Amino acid sequence: MSDPLWILGVRLAGGFHFVTLSLACFTPIPPDWDRNLAKLPPIHRRFAIAQNFSIGATIAVLGLFSLCFAGELISGAPLARALCGATALFWGGRAGVLPWLGVRPTLTTPFLRLGYRLLITECVTFATAYAWLALR
């Protein structure tokens, strides 16, 4: 694939980082999140909330890098390879963790089931593409 196509692909991926982040803010998974968190000791509740903010911030930063520095990310420079490798590890990790979370019983509508499948597909696609950029 030519460099201009890779740049376009990385920029599109950057945009999809923000689509994913936006959808995550409005997706009711797991159900009764606030009620379940309220049952936890305050320290565990804060850890769960901090974890969600950390994941969201990571997605936003990776999306910004992909949007703003697509040309640099495909350059093959050592820092670009490192960032692409880190991005691949993040999304590959998400692809592995999501099925382990066992959310399938909470996907009660066709829309939620489709969204979950698309999220797994996105994770695998991003992991594969960014890994290729890191290793090429």
Q: What is the distance between the alpha carbons of residues 84 and 65, in angstroms, rounded to a whole number?
A: 10
pLDDT digits (tens, 9 = 90+) for 87-136: 999 999 999 999 998 888 888 889 889 989 999 999 999 999 999 999 98
Q: How is the chain split into domains, by residue range?
A: 3-135
pLDDT exceeds cutoff 80 at 30: no
129 Cβ neighbours under 8 A, 6+ residues apart:
9, 13, 88
Which pLDDT does position 67 carry in this prediction? 97
Number of other CB atoms surrounding residue 88 within 10 Å: 20
- What is the secondary structure of 33-57 as a DSSP string? HHHHHHTS-HHHHHHHHHHHHHHHH
Q: What is the mean pLDDT of residues 67-74?
A: 97
Query: Residue 15's closest CA among 84, 67, 80, 59?
Result: 67
Could you give the percent of the chain with pLDDT greater than 90?
72
Which pLDDT does position 58 carry in this prediction? 97
Amino acid residing at 116: Y
Query: Left if phi > 0, otherwise alpha if psi is -120 to 50, otherwise beta: which for 32?
Result: left
pLDDT exceeds cutoff 80 at 76: yes
Q: How far is CA 64 from CA 18, 70, 112, in A?
A: 9, 10, 27
Which pLDDT does position 29 carry in this prediction? 64
Question: b/e string for 54-78 if b means 16 or more Cβ within 10 A?
Answer: eeeebbeebbebbbebbeebbeeee
Which pLDDT does position 33 carry in this prediction? 80
Higher pLDDT, 127 or 45: 127
